[in-house]
Amino acid sequence: MTNLIEIKDVHHAYQTANGPLPVLDGLDLSVPEGEFCAVVGPSGCGKSTLTRLVTGLMKPDSGEVWLHGELVKSPRKTVGMAFQNPVMLEWRTIMQNVMLPLEIVAPSMSKADREKRAMELLELVGLAGFEHKRPSELSGGMRQRASLCRAIVHKPQVLIMDEPFGALDNFTREDLWQTMRDLRAKEPFTCVLITHDLRESVFLGDQVVVLSGRPARTQYVLDVTLPADRTIDVLYEQQAGQMLHTLRDQIRIAQGREETHA
């Protein structure tokens, strides 16, 4: 299996009024094609910075970021993105918002084909019937579903998500995790998900990468050995419970508050 994303020994510091602020310190990360990599770590350790490097919005001071065998040197069109607060264009309908990346990446595609593709995804995430609504007419959870459709409508090589479910209530969030699982089963894509939610990382991830405190490096990698068609119930079972304990311990270590439970 080839690695779609390969991050090698990346160092980065921001220049601030108080001098350089080292944020990434020898970060390594490998994500095989089709895998889902969840990234967790203490607040402010450099997770969003990592997403900017993978998308090519920023260049590291040193080290290499590879995407599909190419060194990333500038912003990539082949990357889909989803954030905590989806930015939707209010003057466009939900379907028109979802179609937007196709207008940029595939301008020669006919309008009918664009609509067909957008509708296919909206149906998959349970938004059929809402395609002609404006973003403000939808709930936060529905808007986030639509934004997931928009992020993958052009079949990007990789989907990068920075706390996409962070603003949602627990039950809506769990619904979205299952939607995400179903989307991946229908159209496999490689994914990097930044999250603060350890349950989310175990439910969605094939691997969970724990970053150390700032400046961040890869502190721990957990292989999630749960079935691909896992349900929320799996989180209440022993195997997932042990993984969550391990991750919680790793987060404590990352926060510099090492302690062990019995």
Ligand X SMILES: Nc1ncnc2c1ncn2[C@@H]1O[C@H](COP(=O)(O)OP(=O)(O)OP(=O)(O)O)[C@@H](O)[C@H]1O
Residues of this chain that bind ligand X (CB under 6 A): 14, 16, 21, 23, 43-49, 214
- CB of 178: closest distance to Mg ion in angstroms? 24
The phi and psi torsions of 10 (rounded to 5 degrees) equal: -85, 130
Task: Compute the distance between CA of residue 253 and CA of residue 200 in angstroms, rounded to an integer.
Answer: 20
- CB of 172: closest distance to ligand X in angstroms? 20
Quick one: 84 or 178, whose CB is closer to ligand X? 84
- Of these partners, Mg ion, ligand X, none, which one is at the site of residue 86 (CB under 5 to 8 Å by kind)? none
Query: Residue ranges of the alpha helices (H) in 30-70?
Result: 47-54
Task: Compute the distance between CA of residue 150 and CA of residue 131 in angstroms, rounded to an integer.
Answer: 12
- CB of 47: closest distance to Mg ion in angstroms? 5
Burial code (b: 16+ CB inside 10 Å, e: under 16) for 228-243 equals eebeeeebeeeebeeb
- CB of 163: closest distance to Mg ion in angstroms? 7
User: Does the footprint of Mg ion cover residue 239 (CB under 5 A)?
Assistant: no
Which of 14, 20, 48, 182 is in the footprint of Mg ion by CB under 5 A?
A: 48
Give the count of alpha carbons within 13 A of 177, CB side only.
28
User: Does the footprint of Mg ion cover residue 85 (CB under 5 A)?
Assistant: no
- The residues binding Mg ion (CB under 5 A) are 47-48
